[in-house]
A and B are shown apart, each in its own frame.
Chain A
């Protein structure tokens, strides 16, 4: 049996098992002798839903299983506050604290939602407390919605706690840095307490492009606040310990790049032109009879496509590559600062060298290059020449006025490295983007917490749905498996070889079957795409549009459909039935 046929048989078996499971559920729900419990009354429904939700919430706070989770979450945030070290700087600590606090608590809340939702109804059915509810004038849809609301009320309460404590922890870390800096400015920098106070306070008002050394706007701001000359301010800062100075530089990054919300735009890849070039080269190779005999046409096209894309992303010495980015609104703000975020990859390590013309010392693993930003004809054209460290994400700031009147911005890169190194900017992996501030950190954190609730709401709905026809252990196991599959869907897609890397324009039947099956699984199990922790750590705006898009797709549509299925099953279920 060929590997393709074998995988079709495996997928067929999987589908058969899924259909049998579905048939079981349908039989349980719509079997002989089933009735329909209650109508769809909506008058006064909110009172009953809230009554059920309140009791569910009380259960969560008073029973041992759920309250164990609550204690764990309550203790986790302070623990991460004290244990987060990062790279030793305030920025590192803040990033690590946010990452652990939100990541860990988000994971715990997901588990809690699954267990609590699966338990809520099935335990009441098993313990027969449900008799006390459905023997009252309570339509069953209200029971389902009440249970879901109760579970979500608890999750929202805990999420509020996580959000507030994460914010408080972040601000405490920042405050701790400022008070240390103030103390060191007094002891090492010989500033008076008032001057030190003013210098520290000036950090929050630093404007202008972030530059290194004496050109840094931090120096200007401090000099203005303390009444010192710029040279004296530099001298004062140089008296501080090296770690404190590094921390101060990173703190400015923290303030400019993390503790705010920035939107991003990237260049468009000219896919059409690349495809045309691939076809042109393929036709030429065929004409010349140089097509590799051991590869299929599809594989040859794939290879050519990779080559073309690689060529597009590679900039050789003295080559200039320009991109036009659409999106950032033309600004009227005088001091609006934007950032160019990029990552240069050099295939081979560049050794340390001296520039043959300027005599400038070039460190190893750097690349001498120029960034041109804006319209060269405009007064707001910006140029940045630097030996840029390779292999790590870098940011340079430029005035927002570089955005042209039509809302586009032109970015060009000139590789002038004398060592002859080629550089790759991998556009597919987002190695080039322009970021600009659109909101505050507080609002972004709030949106982040709201975004974290979306997948949890889906899991809670899955749990409540499972609890209408499965016992607690079985239901929670099933939903937990769905959660794990959903979380590892990227890996599954890779493993099943259905990503774009593998699928050509004309896929085989077996590939199509795989694509459909995995696509259906992905649609059914996806519960949200916002990587909240990463976005917050990089100061990326979550954005109302994205939040609403996710809310609509997952929280309203998918959760709604899941709860509707739960209601249909529960309405027809005989709650006192015995299986003999």
Chain B
């Protein structure tokens, strides 16, 4: 079953007298599959947000149909499986971060202990532990965006809708959000990411669609859309002029043509992260958001429990190094993660096993050990299948 299915979805806004004025979305056909990170791109006013609002039941379609988890968006039952982060953090200025998350947890009818557990973990995840008891009205825009993200995750959603999630965030926050999206994707969540910041979408999305004038212009996987099929790129260590001319000669002999030769540069984002990361390692104080990694344990780890999740991740890492345990299916891990997992596994095996890891612990505080967040990010995995 598709997570989102839109058929000829149309939204027309009218003026006071009921005359059609703006066709914001025009006969949009859109499918989003389970476990997919889908990017919806387009310039301002292209109909992205209107589409999202129709999927949430905040707007009603003029014609066509939209289905989320096979049901109409106005059905409140499906909302329990959706997390929504709007384009701006529309929060109650008078509530603190903790109260805000507790309130949204109540709307999902979570019990008190569960709300407290999730609130603690989410606040740690978004790096606002020190500012958790300050009214949200005193937050900077970036801090408010982090709360916006946390409230979207409080119900451990199967389908996460993020509208311009990185707007107003510093590069660290942007990277964190992208990490969260990536990890959630690896855990089988479906994510609809709506943005006009192309780099964000490119970094995390499996498939993207570009809208303009309310219509779908193109759709496909990132690789399909971006690959230059008639060019080949070779990356080597630095070559001198003589070696370069020999390479050009060889390429010419092979019937090819050198289009350009240049030294690769870092992206500014990578440089920024390196500099600020160094400052954080020196533990310089900040009144704003702190840098954190990983996602909260409860996100899709519910079926196993926080401690068991860590154990399963360690197992997954061991399989990478030693091969699968007898009678167990190997866990499929992306090659890019293998080195990182090996490193984590080495660190883990050096330590004595924690007493908490040997038996399930129900206390939310005990299950929220910071190391697990690191493990989550580096090892990936957790639940390998989307929730049904």
Binding site for B on A (CB under 8 A): 27, 31-39, 41, 44, 47-48, 50-52, 54-55, 58-59, 62-63, 127-129, 131-139, 574-580
- Nearest CB of A to B110, in Å: 9
Specify which chain A residues have a CB less than 8 angstroms from the CB of B104 in the assembled complex. 132, 136
The answer to whether B13 touches A138 (Cβ under 8 A) is no
The answer to whether B14 touches A134 (Cβ under 8 A) is no
The answer to whether A137 touches B77 (Cβ under 8 A) is yes
Chosen A-B contacts, 10 in total, with CB atoms closer than 8 Å, are: A31-B14, A35-B72, A55-B92, A132-B91, A132-B151, A134-B58, A138-B79, A139-B76, A575-B59, A578-B13
The answer to whether B58 touches A135 (Cβ under 8 A) is yes
The one of B16, B82, B88 that contacts A135, using a Cβ cutoff of 8 Å: B82
Known: A129-B92, A132-B151. A577 touches B59 (CB 8 A): yes
- Nearest CB of A to B141, in Å: 15
The answer to whether A59 touches B13 (Cβ under 8 A) is no
The answer to whether A137 touches B59 (Cβ under 8 A) is no
Of listed B57, B80, B88, residue having the most chain A CB within 10 A = B57
Specify which chain A residues have a CB less than 8 angstroms from the CB of B135 in the assembled complex. 62
- Nearest CB of B to A258, in Å: 43
Known: A44-B109, A137-B80, A138-B107. A59 touches B74 (CB 8 A): no
The answer to whether B103 touches A51 (Cβ under 8 A) is yes
The answer to whether A575 touches B74 (Cβ under 8 A) is no
Known: A31-B18, A59-B92. A138 touches B60 (CB 8 A): no
Which residue of chain A has the shortest Cβ distance to B161 in the bound complex?
A135
The answer to whether B107 touches A48 (Cβ under 8 A) is yes
The one of B62, B77, B92, B106 that contacts A47, using a Cβ cutoff of 8 Å: B106
Known: A39-B76, A58-B95, A139-B76. A129 touches B90 (CB 8 A): yes
- Nearest CB of B to A53, in Å: 11
- Please give me the 5 A-B residue pairs with the lowest Cβ-Cβ distance, nearest first: A51-B106, A35-B60, A62-B94, A137-B79, A576-B58
The answer to whether A33 touches B86 (Cβ under 8 A) is no
Specify which chain A residues have a CB less than 8 angstroms from the CB of B22 in the assembled complex. 580
- Nearest CB of B to A458, in Å: 27
Which residue of chain B has the shortest Cβ distance to A578 in the bound complex?
B13
- Nearest CB of B to A66, in Å: 10
The answer to whether the Cβ of B84 comes within 8 Å of any Cβ in the partner chain is yes
Specify which chain B residues have a CB less than 8 angstroms from the CB of A62 in the assembled complex. 94, 135
The one of B62, B72, B75, B76 that contacts A32, using a Cβ cutoff of 8 Å: B62
Known: A59-B94, A131-B90, A133-B107. A576 touches B79 (CB 8 A): no
**Considering the chains assembled together, what is the distance between the CA atoms of A34 and B88 in angstroms?**
25
The answer to whether B108 touches A137 (Cβ under 8 A) is yes
The answer to whether A577 touches B13 (Cβ under 8 A) is yes
Specify which chain B residues have a CB less than 8 angstroms from the CB of A35 in the assembled complex. 57, 60, 72, 74
The answer to whether A574 touches B59 (Cβ under 8 A) is yes
Known: A32-B62, A135-B58, A580-B14. A127 touches B90 (CB 8 A): yes
**Considering the chains assembled together, what is the distance between the CA atoms of A44 and B106 in angstroms?**
11
Q: Interface code B22-52, partner A: CB below 8 Å = 1, 0 otherwise?
A: 1000000000000000000000000000000
The answer to whether the Cβ of B359 comes within 8 Å of any Cβ in the partner chain is no
Specify which chain A residues have a CB less than 8 angstroms from the CB of B76 in the assembled complex. 37-39, 41, 137-139
Interface residues of A, dominant DSSP: loop
The answer to whether A134 touches B57 (Cβ under 8 A) is yes
**Considering the chains assembled together, what is the distance between the CA atoms of A139 and B75 in angstroms?**
9
**Considering the chains assembled together, what is the distance between the CA atoms of A209 and B18 in angstroms?**
75
The answer to whether A47 touches B58 (Cβ under 8 A) is no
The one of A32, A48, A58 that contacts B18, using a Cβ cutoff of 8 Å: A32
The answer to whether the Cβ of B53 comes within 8 Å of any Cβ in the partner chain is yes
The answer to whether the Cβ of B214 comes within 8 Å of any Cβ in the partner chain is no
The answer to whether B56 touches A579 (Cβ under 8 A) is no
Specify which chain A residues have a CB less than 8 angstroms from the CB of B88 in the assembled complex. 128
Which residue of chain A has the shortest Cβ distance to B24 in the bound complex?
A578
The answer to whether A33 touches B58 (Cβ under 8 A) is no
Known: A128-B90, A580-B13; 8 extra A-B contacts, CB below 8 A, are A34-B60, A36-B74, A38-B76, A58-B94, A59-B92, A62-B135, A135-B84, A137-B76
Specify which chain A residues have a CB less than 8 angstroms from the CB of B267 in the assembled complex. none
**Considering the chains assembled together, what is the distance between the CA atoms of A34 and B340 in angstroms?**
52
- Nearest CB of A to B300, in Å: 19
The answer to whether the Cβ of B230 comes within 8 Å of any Cβ in the partner chain is no
Which residue of chain B has the shortest Cβ distance to A143 in the bound complex?
B107
The answer to whether the Cβ of B242 comes within 8 Å of any Cβ in the partner chain is no
**Considering the chains assembled together, what is the distance between the CA atoms of A275 and B224 in angstroms?**
97
Of listed A139, A576, A578, residue having the most chain B CB within 10 A = A576
Q: Interface code B66-80, partner A: CB below 8 Å = 1, 0 otherwise?
A: 000000101111111
Known: A33-B62, A138-B79, A579-B15. A55 touches B95 (CB 8 A): yes
**Considering the chains assembled together, what is the distance between the CA atoms of A31 and B59 in angstroms?**
13
Specify which chain B residues have a CB less than 8 angstroms from the CB of A47 in the assembled complex. 106, 109
**Considering the chains assembled together, what is the distance between the CA atoms of A456 and B84 in angstroms?**
37
Known: A36-B74, A137-B76. A51 touches B107 (CB 8 A): yes
Specify which chain A residues have a CB less than 8 angstroms from the CB of B103 in the assembled complex. 51, 54-55
**Considering the chains assembled together, what is the distance between the CA atoms of A580 and B45 in angstroms?**
14
Which residue of chain B has the shortest Cβ distance to A34 in the bound complex?
B60
Specify which chain B residues have a CB less than 8 angstroms from the CB of A33 in the assembled complex. 11-12, 60-62
Specify which chain A residues have a CB less than 8 angstroms from the CB of B12 in the assembled complex. 33
- Nearest CB of B to A249, in Å: 54
The one of B95, B107, B151 that contacts A137, using a Cβ cutoff of 8 Å: B107
Which residue of chain A has the shortest Cβ distance to B86 in the bound complex?
A131
Specify which chain B residues have a CB less than 8 angstroms from the CB of A32 in the assembled complex. 14, 18, 62
**Considering the chains assembled together, what is the distance between the CA atoms of A135 and B82 in angstroms?**
8
Specify which chain B residues have a CB less than 8 angstroms from the CB of A50 in the assembled complex. 106
Known: A31-B18, A32-B62, A131-B58. A136 touches B79 (CB 8 A): yes
**Considering the chains assembled together, what is the distance between the CA atoms of A113 and B110 in angstroms?**
31
The answer to whether the Cβ of B21 comes within 8 Å of any Cβ in the partner chain is yes
Of listed A48, A134, A136, A574, residue having the most chain B CB within 10 A = A136
**Considering the chains assembled together, what is the distance between the CA atoms of A35 and B91 in angstroms?**
26
Specify which chain B residues have a CB less than 8 angstroms from the CB of A37 in the assembled complex. 57, 74, 76
**Considering the chains assembled together, what is the distance between the CA atoms of A569 and B103 in angstroms?**
25
Which residue of chain B has the shortest Cβ distance to A146 in the bound complex?
B107
Of listed B12, B56, B80, B106, residue having the most chain A CB within 10 A = B106
Which residue of chain A has the shortest Cβ distance to B163 in the bound complex?
A131
- Nearest CB of B to A413, in Å: 64
**Considering the chains assembled together, what is the distance between the CA atoms of A55 and B94 in angstroms?**
9
- Nearest CB of A to B114, in Å: 13
The answer to whether B15 touches A136 (Cβ under 8 A) is no
For chain B residues 339-354, which have a beta carbon within 8 Å of chain A?
none
